[in-house]
Amino acid sequence: MTPAPVADTNGIVYAAIGPTVFAFNPTTVNTANPQPAWSFTLANSGVPADAISLAVGTDVLYVAARDFFLYALTKQ
């Protein structure tokens, strides 16, 4: 099951396919060849974990995964 994409207050769209979470900036993405602004692969102890839901907080993206972990992704 792939979670629905979500967007933050800055318009960044987050989507997950399997264990990989992608961030797209719609104002800079090339529609002919869309490339993510960044991506992150969920892995606990080296084992990929499919994302099951996404939620946006203040400056953080929460990702619930099948490995029973809640990932909090922030800008570095």
In this predicted structure, what is the pLDDT of residue 28?
83
In this predicted structure, what is the pLDDT of residue 76?
66
Q: Tell me if 16 is assigned to some domain.
A: yes
**CB neighbourhood size of 68 (10 A):** 8
Provide the number of structural domains found in the chain. 1
- Give CA torsion, residues 7, 8, 9, 13, to 10 deg: -50
The CATH number of residue 50's host domain is: 2.40.10
Answer whether residue 5 shows pLDDT above 90: yes
Q: Tell me if 39 is assigned to some domain.
A: yes
Q: Tell me if 1 is assigned to some domain.
A: no
DSSP per position, 13-51: EEEEETTEEEEE-TTT--TTS---SEEEE-EETTEE--E
Q: Tell me if 22 is assigned to some domain.
A: yes
- What's the pTM? 0.86
Which tens digits make up the pLDDT trace of 12-64? 999 999 999 999 998 887 777 778 999 999 987 777 789 999 999 988 999 99
In this predicted structure, what is the pLDDT of residue 72?
96
CA-to-CA distance for 55 and 64, rounded, in angstroms? Answer: 9
